[in-house]
Amino acid sequence: MAKIMPLENEIERLNKYQKEAVLEENDACVVNANVGSGKTTVLVAKVHYLHEKKEIPYEKMVVLTFTNKAAAEMKDRLWFGETETVELPFFGTFHSIALKLLKEILPVEELGYTRDFSVIEPDEELELAEQLITDHDLHIKYKNRLKKRLEQEKKAYQDGRTETRYQDDLFQLFSLLLKEKKKQNKVTFDDLLQYANELLERYPFHPSWIIVDEVQDSDKEQLIFLQHLKGTETKLFAVGDPNQVIYSWRGSSENVFYTLKKIFHATELTLPINYRSSSSILEAAKVFLQNGGILEGSREPGHKILIRNPYNPFQEAEYLAGKIKKIHASGIPYKEIAIFYRLQHQSEQLEKVFIKENIPYEVSLKKTIKDIPVLDWFMKVLRFACKQTDLYARDKALGDKVYGPATEWDKQNLLHKMETFTAWAKENTILKADDIYRYLEIDIYLHPTSANYQIEKEQVLSFCNRILEYAREQELDFMIGMSNFLNSSALFGIQILNQEIHETADSVKLMTLHASKGLEFQYVFIIGVNYGLIPLPGKSFEDEDEERRLFFVGITRAKDYLELSYYTNPEQYRAVSGESRYLSMIPEHLTVRADRKKENKTEDKADLQSLRKQVQKQTAAKTVLPEQIPQTERKVQHKRYGLGTIQAEDDVMVTVQFEKYGKKQFIKALGGLEYLD
């Protein structure tokens, strides 16, 4: 049994609000956990309390999170020391628990599947759909937006609507796609919860306790999942913050707390005390609260919030490089410094300057397996090696334009290796990543003379090591472990292969406001607080409300020091020169303005013209070689040419690569491009 922190000591350290939440045992309870109020501490203490004091076995608890990272953090904090692992069968994300139920408990055969079904990525489903359109000669409008249409109109099809909004054959495609996925024994990410809910309605599975983290992020399907799990004897404990609903595009809603209280007649408790931020930062954050309630601070005022007005992103990056060097020289680790922005591509100028100035940094950048070509191919190799019926994976592995076999002999060799992989693995009880790499003769396909060979080899070996570690941790046979891992890779490709920040690495963290959720830093800089960036222009009041909540999340990541800046020349097609109204909403006594030093506006204008020339000269002088610059691909949509990737741009022109039409140049003001950041 793992060594667990003594319960009495753990509860003794809690404040009265936290203690009330841990000891509460009503049939259902939702806890409104204000930012920085010790939410994870309460959740961990709750699990300890239920297990030790109330003698609830871990296998009788379903503990639901929204990311693998959150699930892993909770598991790590449940015990400490190098001791035996405790079984936590139902601790994980909503989708991973649904997957486990479908694989091990619920009768998926009734849905037309077998238990060894595979989880596929959205791109594979899209390719299946495109093939069905061709095979059945379907009339589908806006094919270049097919992926989005499949997402948007699926619910209408399931609700029994008979015609699509464009009066085409999309609903017929849904029917054919469902049959084809069942024929190939494959499900998608979205199918998991839907199928689990469908079967739970007929075959109940009721744990003793359901514990939910970040419940405000729940969508409709996840709330239905909770309803099915909660039996008459099941107790529900959910924790979240309605002021941090920033994923409405995923289906989350501000009304989750109201819905939970209504459905389950839940008691509501509050964790009002923020332990993270200085009282000045907290008072500024209160301006952006939208759900009332109490938000108490426990710290001194500390530094005032600095508001700055750099001319453009390059000048901003130059300033931040100098400022960060001074902060680090004073003894602050780089890892305690973070820069937030609204759109991913805003990191580009920072990265260029930080490379030049030798400042260590990490960028939080969402990456799926699809974004790493060698792993996208290698996973197809392993999928067919695991399951000989997966002809899609076989054809993709053999037909890949970059990594696929170049000759007929190589093709037959790889096919033979994949077909005999299972038998080989069973004969070798102690496997290493090198063994897998050599048996499949991956070197043949990575082209040892290519410039990327060493990097790609390391990526493949690292992926093999992850599989082996997973199988060992789960105490599974290698082939079963590999099959489960590949399903998880399809299910959580983002979490597994993110270019994530490593919180322990001593580097400055660069990330979007969305990515900052759940983190905290001593020094936080939020850049580009111009209207059109922060906030982004919305189509509704709901969009505007969410932008405010997102800014609230960003502000409350700061523990000790906060800087906010806006550009005179934002160099963003959608952004307006000058400060966002968000800055004027912050009480003046909380801020120090570094943007109002001169009263003579005429002099300012003259200075700006001079500064622009100076900045352009500096930019030219500080050019970084292209191979040194981490590339962040920006996607755009064009009415005629479809989805494209920006290759180059300046103040006037933009060059875009389209899959079917090649490179096209547009004047920004007239190009008709929709940016998809």
pLDDT in tens, 345-392: 999 999 999 999 999 999 987 566 677 889 989 999 999 999 999 999
Nearest to 177 by CA among 186, 166, 167, 168: 186
Nearest to 28 by CA among 204, 210, 242: 210
Which two tokens mark 225? Answer: 């999942």
Residue 500's contacts (CB-CB under 8 Å, 6 or more residues apart) are 364
Q: What is the pLDDT of residue 670?
A: 59
Nearest to 90 by CA among 117, 45, 60: 60
- Expressed in angstroms, the distance from the first to the final Cα of the chain is 48
Q: What is the pLDDT of residue 77?
A: 72
Domain residue ranges in the chain: 7-103+196-271, 120-184, 279-366+501-621, 369-496, 635-675
Can you give 619-649 as a three-state secondary structure string? HHHCCCCHHHCCCCCCEEEECCCEEEEEEEE
Nearest to 45 by CA among 28, 64, 21, 61: 21
Which two tokens mark 14? Answer: 């809690």
Nearest to 650 by CA among 619, 627, 605: 619
Phi and psi at 258, nearest 5°, equal -60, -45
CB-CB neighbours of 230 under 10 Å: 20
| Domain 7-103+196-271 CATH assignment equals 3.40.50.300 | yes
Q: What is the pLDDT of residue 496?
A: 42
- What letter would DSSP give residue 267? E
Q: Are 673 and 666 in contact (CB under 8 A)?
A: yes
Q: What is the pLDDT of residue 501?
A: 54
What is the homologous superfamily of the domain 279-366+501-621 according to CATH?
A: P-loop containing nucleotide triphosphate hydrolases (3.40.50.300)
Q: What is the Cα–Cα distance from 475 to 158, expressed in whole angstroms?
A: 39
- Give the max Cα distance, the chain: 82
DSSP notation for 323-352: HHHHHHHTT--GGGEEEEESSGGGHHHHHH
Q: What is the Cα–Cα distance from 286 to 288, expressed in whole angstroms?
A: 5
Which two tokens mark 89? Answer: 């069968």
Half-sphere exposure of 442 (CA within 13 A, CB side): 24
Q: What is the pLDDT of residue 551?
A: 95
Nearest to 295 by CA among 555, 516, 513: 555
- Residue tagged 């968000």 (tokens): 582
Q: Residue 120 belongs to what H/E stretch? A: strand 118-120
Cis ω on the peptide bond leading into residue 204 (within 30° of 0)? no
What are the per-10-residue average pLDDT scores of the chain (677 residues)?
62 92 94 90 92 92 84 69 63 91 96 93 89 94 88 82 87 94 92 95 96 89 94 95 70 72 92 92 89 73 94 95 97 96 93 95 75 89 94 94 94 96 92 96 91 91 90 86 82 47 79 90 97 86 86 95 95 86 94 67 46 50 38 70 80 74 69 71
Q: Residue 582 belongs to what H/E stretch? A: helix 581-585
Phi and psi at 289, nearest 5°, equal -65, 140
Residue 358's contacts (CB-CB under 8 Å, 6 or more residues apart) are none
**Predicted model pTM:** 0.75
Cis ω on the peptide bond leading into residue 313 (within 30° of 0)? no
Q: What is the Cα–Cα distance from 225 to 201, expressed in whole angstroms?
A: 10
